[in-house]
Amino acid sequence: MAPVAAGTAAWGLMTGVAMVKSGMSIFEAVLMGVIVFAGSSQLAAVPLILAGAPMWVILATAVCVNLRFVVFSAHLRPYLMHQPLWRRLVSGYFTADLSYVMFTNRHPHPVPPGDVAALRAQEAYLAGNCAVTWVSWVVPSLLGIALANAIPLHWGLGFAGILALLGILCSLASSRLRAVSAGVAGAAAVAAFALPLKLNILVAIAAAVAVCLMLEKPSAPQPKTGGAA
């Protein structure tokens, strides 16, 4: 996580500045930065809060922006179902885009439940990723809240977070199918950019999944082996 922590920190710093400069109180900004822990939904919800939008509109916007985490959690389910509920809830809070991507890249398949050492190694790797992500986001966000009047928004440091995501995306496009899915998702997101509530993100995910399902070759069935009669 170290190479992308700087980009995450710059994004968190500018999110903290944006929350305060948009008119939120220090208490509200700190509470939102720690509890929500999701930059895209924070930046989407803050203007709606200040505009006095109905609560359901604010919640619907945040949910739509963060629906990708439903996909993440469904993928992580085989990795975490052996844990008690409270630990799964904690993992759900701390897992972010970058920690999820790095974890699944390192561990593309869950280990068998009986392999205790391998399970602990996976859990340790996920916990380490999540800890670095949380610290590199929350601490700079709090710093941005504290120094909001000294850091101008036109610095554009938040773009560093986008560059970090793009760097990881390019490194994961290791096959033709993955490259196609990334291209389809990007094109669909741009084409549907005018949709409200950031629904273009959902359109991008749906389009990429649909195309990959059509292009992916089904695995050949394994021959059955019978024992001696």
pLDDT tens, residue by residue, 132-188: 999 999 999 999 899 888 877 666 655 666 666 676 677 667 788 888 888 998 999
Assign 229 a pLDDT band (cuts: 50, 70, 90).
very low
pLDDT of 223 reads 54
CA gap 93, 138 in Å, rounded: 13
Q: According to the per-residue pLDDT averaged within each range, which of 2-6, 36-40, 88-92, 169-173 is highest? A: 88-92
Question: Distance between CA 88 and CA 24 in Å, rounded?
Answer: 32
Write down the mean pLDDT value for the chain. 82
Residue 32 token pair:
């939102």
pTM of the model: 0.71
CB-based contact 39:161 (threshold 8 Å): yes
* 44-53 average pLDDT score: 79
Could you give the CA distance from residue 153 to residue 166 in angstroms, rounded to a whole number?
Answer: 22
Q: Is the pLDDT of residue 222 over 70?
A: no
Radius of gyration of the chain (CA): 20
Q: What percent of the chain has pLDDT over 70?
A: 86
pLDDT value, residue 128: 93
DSSP for residue 191: H
Q: Which two tokens stand for residue 139?
A: 């601490």
Average pLDDT over residues 53-64: 82
Mean pLDDT for 25-53 is 84
Q: What is the pLDDT of residue 134?
A: 93
With 90 as the cut, is the pLDDT of residue 131 above it? yes
Q: Which helix (H) or strand (E) holds 92?
A: helix 85-94
Residue 228: the pLDDT is: 47
DSSP for residue 63: H
- Which of the pair, 58 or 219, is modelled with greater confidence? 58
Residues sharing a CB contact under 8 Å with residue 205, sequence separation 6 or more, in sequence order:
67, 68, 71, 185
